[in-house]
Amino acid sequence: MGNCNCASAETKDDAPPTGAPAKLTKAGDTKPNGAPFSYLASHRAIKHLGRGAAADTWLFVDRKRNRLVAIKLFPRPIPANLRDSTLSEIKCQTELGPGHINLINVYEAILTPDHLGIVMEYAAGGALTAHVAERWGAAKPGGLILTEDEARYFFRQFIEAVDYCHRNNTAHRDLKLDNTLLDDQKPPFLKICDFGFARHWATDSLYRTKSHLGTPEYMSPELLRNQSKDKKALKDYDPRSVDVWASGVLLLVSLCGAFPWDHTRQHDNFNNDQELDLWLQEVNKQWNESPFIADNVNALSPEARDLLDRIFMLDPTKRITIPEIMKHPWYTKALLPEHQEALDSLHEEQRQVDEHLHHRKLDPVKMAERNKKLEQIVDEACSSEAVQNSSSHGRQLRPLHVLDFKHREITRLDLTERAVLLGQSCKCSEEHATVADRAAGLAEAKSGKLHESASIKSFKSNSSSNGAEKSNGHA
Ligand SMILES: Nc1ncnc2c1ncn2[C@@H]1O[C@H](COP(=O)(O)OP(=O)(O)O)[C@@H](O)[C@H]1O
Ligand SMILES: [Mg+2]
């Protein structure tokens, strides 16, 4: 598939684990050959979903709620240099996930003697990478990979989610096909995952940051250029513009099936100055002159070219913004009827979520307590002491040193909003039914994939409840 790594998507399906004792995986193992976490009575492992640098993600059944969940498992001890990003990943996802249908929602953090797990909503359709790769195989020579109509359907959902993040003072900073998942509806809804590089800023501060991180193929020139061992030499950049550039790469790869700039020759632009210079020379070239997409570029409409021209502005101050993208003629062009129908239903679900968010009242004390507990859990996950003290047998109880968690083998932290609602608790009929659960329940009910789960029942009972209950913030 040209120079696109779509064919080697991160996702891989291992055979479901047998009844044999769990063989625990550590980062660096070539391949997990058994489900970690199988000693957790509350969840049953189904299959491996994907692997990144620091964690493996697995599909599990949440036995109690009878629903499928994805759990991202960080082997312990988490390296100290990943402590802040792990904490920030969970915090960002906890804060943003329930508020937008196109973001993966998070339910719980679980600390076991061997792993820190983030339990989250499962996207059954896999990564957009695989969808584009599948279309790539069937594309006609000289044609586009996704049609512009289909790409627009996905891009609208994608940009709406990015806009939501930015409006909530968070930039994702690792937007890419691999982190863009699909559910199993037809046509699918899109879900952005992986907030490992996300950056949150205070409401009254400038949207500026200095860190040099991201996935090279998606990194904008100002970000690529901004690297130095001397931290003081790093310059500020606007992380929102960085997200815009990455969104353009995602769109272009979806349409043309290849990255516009050759990343294979200069892959070490993080450590090697010479390779960085060569890479920057590449990125400074016009996107539409790239030899890697030469076969497909002529098939693009003038509106698509214009949008990509505006996204791939080398000067970030001249680059199109997310609100401007949402007004661009390519973006606003009418969708195919089936896509429009799907988006209408998604927007109706989103409207219910917005209404709920507007009425709900969160308890600042409970939120502060939860944040503190989360920090303790992440610190504990980073501590090598607990792991070293343990026996080599993964199932044995290990001493944990944080006061709250003493003598417990498994520590769980509820990350749903139910845990931080003001007052007693949500009046929902099911304990874990957040509004996003209910929206997910509606989606499941529509797709008919899962039988009626607790969250679906809860959705139904709540959507038929009266307005008085809503005004209490428990819609
Ligand atoms: N909620 C989910 N549902 C389905 N698949 C997922 C989910 N989260 C992650 N994955 C799969 O696992 C891969 C790695 O997860 P990700 O959170 O991106 O980890 P990393 O930070 O290591 O890149 C993703 O690219 C995707 O294929
Ligand atoms: Mg990822």
Position 324 scores a pLDDT of 98
Q: Return the closest-CA partner of residue 315 out of 220, 199, 210, 214.
A: 220
Task: Give me the amino acid identity at 360.
Answer: R
**Domain boundary at 354, 370, 401, which?**
354
Position 289 scores a pLDDT of 85
Q: Are 254 and 177 in contact (CB under 8 A)?
A: yes
Does residue 472 fall inside a structural domain? no
Question: For residue 449, what are the domain limits?
Answer: 12-121+362-464
Q: Are residues 181 and 322 in the same domain?
A: yes
Phi/psi of residue 74, nearest 5 degrees: -100, 120
Q: Return the closest-CA partner of residue 54 out of 213, 192, 241, 206.
A: 213
CA-nearest residue, atom 1 of ligand 1: 122
Number of domains comprising the chain:
2
What's the gap in Å between 215 CA and the centre of ligand 2?
9
What are the strands, taking DSSP E only, across 122-264?
126-127, 170-171, 180-182, 190-192, 199-200
Tracing tokens 């863009």 back to the chain, one arrives at 180
**Domain boundary at 354, 380, 411, which?**
354
Instruction: Work out which ligand 1 atom sits closest to the CA atom of 124.
Output: 4
CA-nearest residue, atom 11 of ligand 1: 50
Residue 209's contacts (CB-CB under 8 Å, 6 or more residues apart) are 171, 199, 201, 236, 237, 239
| CB neighbour burial string for 230-241, b if at least 16 within 10 angstroms, e if fewer | eeeeeeebbbbb
Residues across the chain: 475
Residue 375's contacts (CB-CB under 8 Å, 6 or more residues apart) are 87
Instruction: Work out which ligand 1 atom sits closest to the CA atom of 196.
Output: 21
CA-nearest residue, atom 26 of ligand 1: 50
The conformational region for residue 212 under phi > 0 = left, psi -120 to 50 = alpha, else beta, is beta
Between CA 85 and CA 450 the distance in angstroms is 34
Q: Which ligand is nearest to the CA of 181?
A: 1
CA-nearest residue, atom 24 of ligand 1: 50
DSSP 25: P
Q: Where are the alpha helices (DSSP H) in 168-271?
A: 221-225, 239-256
Give yes or no for residue 440 CB within 6 A of ligand 1. no
Give yes or no for residue 214 CB within 6 A of ligand 1. no
CA-nearest residue, atom 9 of ligand 1: 57
What are the strands, taking DSSP E only, across 203-340?
none
Give yes or no for residue 11 CB within 6 A of ligand 1. yes
**Domain boundary at 297, 323, 354, which?**
354
Helix axes 435-447, 337-359, angle to 10 degrees: 150
Q: Are residues 304 and 374 in the same domain?
A: no
Q: Are residues 201 and 297 in the same domain?
A: yes
Give yes or no for residue 129 CB within 6 A of ligand 1. no
Q: Are residues 43 and 153 in the same domain?
A: no
Q: Are residues 159 and 287 in the same domain?
A: yes
Q: Are residues 285 and 416 in the same domain?
A: no
Q: Are residues 270 and 367 in the same domain?
A: no
- The CATH number that applies at residue 387 is 3.30.200.20
* Residues acting as catalytic residues: 174
**Per-residue pLDDT for the chain (475 aa), expressed as one digit of tens each?**
444 433 322 222 222 222 222 232 333 333 344 556 656 788 889 999 999 888 999 999 999 999 999 999 999 999 999 999 999 999 999 999 999 999 999 999 999 888 999 999 999 999 999 999 999 888 888 899 999 999 999 999 999 999 999 999 999 999 999 999 999 999 999 999 999 999 888 876 666 776 777 888 899 988 887 776 677 777 788 999 999 999 999 999 999 998 988 666 555 555 666 667 777 777 777 888 888 888 889 999 999 999 999 999 999 999 999 999 999 999 999 999 999 999 999 999 999 999 999 999 999 999 999 999 999 999 999 997 655 444 334 433 343 333 333 344 789 999 999 999 997 544 443 333 344 444 444 444 334 333 323 232 222 233 333 222 222 222 1
User: Is 397 strand, coil or helix?
Assistant: coil
- The CATH number that applies at residue 204 is 1.10.510.10
Q: Are residues 385 and 444 in the same domain?
A: yes
SS3 content of the chain, % helix, strand, coil (to 5): 45, 15, 45
Q: Which ligand is nearest to the CA of 47?
A: 1
Give yes or no for residue 125 CB within 6 A of ligand 1. no
Contacts of 178-182 with C-beta under 8 Å, sequence gap 24+, read: 178/9, 178/10, 178/50, 178/127, 178/128, 178/129, 179/127, 180/127, 180/128, 180/129, 180/154, 180/250, 181/104, 181/123, 181/125, 181/126, 181/127, 181/128, 182/123, 182/125, 182/126, 182/127, 182/128, 182/131
Report the alpha-carbon angle 308-344-99, nearest 5: 80
Q: Return the closest-CA partner of residue 82 out of 385, 386, 379, 374.
A: 379
Q: Are residues 325 and 415 in the same domain?
A: no
Query: Parallel, antiparallel, or unpaired: how do β-strands 115-121 and 106-111 relate?
Result: antiparallel
Q: Are residues 106 and 131 in the same domain?
A: no
Position 38 scores a pLDDT of 57
CA distances from 155 to 13, 152, 176, 380 (A): 27, 5, 12, 39
Does residue 190 fall inside a structural domain? yes
Does residue 293 fall inside a structural domain? yes
Q: Are residues 414 and 460 in the same domain?
A: yes
Q: Which of 10, 14, 46, 57 to mutate to test the pocket of ligand 1 (most atoms within 8 A of CB)?
A: 57
Give yes or no for residue 50 CB within 6 A of ligand 1. yes
Does residue 211 fall inside a structural domain? yes
| CB neighbour burial string for 10-19, b if at least 16 within 10 angstroms, e if fewer | beeebeebee
Position 224 scores a pLDDT of 82
Position 266 scores a pLDDT of 53
Between CA 313 and CA 221 the distance in angstroms is 9
Give yes or no for residue 102 CB within 6 A of ligand 1. no
